[in-house]
Amino acid sequence: MKKYICIMLPLITIFSMYVFAQSKKDVSIPSLNEAAPAFTAISTQGEVKYPNDFYNKWVIIFSHPADFTPVCTTEIWELAHHQDEFANLNTKLIVISTDGLNSHLEWIKSIESLEYKGMKPTKIKFPLISDVNMSISKMYGMQHPYENSTQNVRGIFIISPKGYIQYIAFYPSYVGRNINEIIRVLTALQESYVNDVLTPVNWQKGDDYLLLPPKSIEMSEKMKEKNDPNFYNYNWYMWFKKNNK
C-alpha cells in the first residue's frame, strides 16, 4: 500500500502541474485597439448581445470574483450611484462573473437595500451577466490561474463606440477599484477620441490638452510664429491646446 501511494503521489503532482499549465495557456487578454470579442449571454436584465445591443455607445465591462463578497458589494453599490453619470457620458455598463443568475438576482436585492456611506439605497439599472461556463471570461482574459482558476479577477475593459478596446486594467481580489478614476479615464478617452488630442498626467475634465509633438524644432518655431492664443508650449515638443469649453 505504501509503495502504491509513493508511486501515485508524484503522478498526481505531475497531473496537477499539467492541468495548471493548460489553464495558463487558456489565458489570452485582448490588446488595446483590438476589436472587443462578441458574445451573447444571460443576465439579470435578460439576454445581452454584445456588440448588437450597444450601437454607437461606449461600453465598460467589469468582471468581479464572486457575489456576496464585501469588496465586490461596495463596487457594485458605487457603480449604481454613478450609473446616471455614466449614462450622461453615452456609456453602458456590463458586470460579469462566473456565478449563476439566481445568485446575481439575490445579490442585487441585498445591494439595492443597502445604506452605505450615508447614502440611500438605489436601483441597479445595468446587467450582471452569469458566465458559469467561463466562455466570456476566457475570451477577455479575466481568469488568471495564479490568482484563481475558477473565479474572475477584477477586470475593466473600456470599449469605444466602434467596438475597439481602449483601456484595460486588472486588480487583485483584495483591492477595490476607484470608480472616480474610471470616470476620469473614460472622459479623457472621449476627449481624445473627439478632439484628436492627448491628455497630460493627472488630467481632469476642463484641463488643457496636449498636442501630438511637432516633427522638428523648425515646425515648432513656425507654430510659435503664428502667435495663436489657443496654443502654448513649454519646449519645442510639448505643445498645449487651451480647453475653452
The enclosing domain of 133 has a CATH number of 3.40.30.10
* Rounded mean pLDDT, 126-137: 96
| pLDDT above 50 (res 171) | yes
| pLDDT above 80 (res 28) | yes
Percent of the chain with pLDDT over 90: 80
Last residue of a domain, one of 144, 178, 212: 178
- Listed range (7-11, 59-63, 172-176) with the worst mean pLDDT: 7-11
Burial-class residue 137 by CB neighbours within 10 Å (0-12, 13-18, 19+). buried
CA–CA dist 6, 87 (Å, integer): 61
Q: Which residues are catalytic, by number?
A: 72
- What is the pLDDT, as a whole number, of residue 2? 55
Q: How many domains does the chain divide into?
A: 2
Binned at pLDDT 50, 70 and 90, residue 115 comes out as very high
Same domain, 45 and 157: yes
CA–CA dist 65, 149 (Å, integer): 11
Same domain, 164 and 100: yes
Same domain, 33 and 124: yes
Within a domain: 17 = no
pLDDT in tens, 189-230: 999 999 999 999 999 999 999 999 999 999 999 999 999 999
- What is the pLDDT, as a whole number, of residue 147? 78
Report the Cα 96 to chain-centroid distance in Å.
11
* Rounded mean pLDDT, 111-130: 94
Report the Cα 143 to chain-centroid distance in Å.
14
| pLDDT above 50 (res 235) | yes
Last residue of a domain, one of 120, 150, 178: 178
Report the alpha-carbon angle 12-14-16, nearest 5. 70
- What is the pLDDT, as a whole number, of residue 26? 62
Binned at pLDDT 50, 70 and 90, residue 17 comes out as very low
For 204, the domain range is 196-245
**Distance in Å from the first CA to the final CA of the chain:** 80
Query: For strand 128-130 and strand 91-97, is the pairing parallel, antiparallel, or unpaired?
Result: parallel
Same domain, 81 and 201: no
Residue 102 in 3-state DSSP? helix
- What is the pLDDT, as a whole number, of residue 204? 96
Q: Which three cell numbers stand for residue 143?
A: 481568469
Same domain, 93 and 131: yes
Within a domain: 37 = yes
- What is the pLDDT, as a whole number, of residue 21? 45
Same domain, 115 and 202: no
Q: Which three cell numbers stand for residue 167?
A: 483601456
Same domain, 51 and 144: yes
Within a domain: 232 = yes
Rg over CA atoms, the chain: 23
Same domain, 117 and 172: yes
Strand partners, 119: 116
pTM reported for the whole predicted model: 0.86
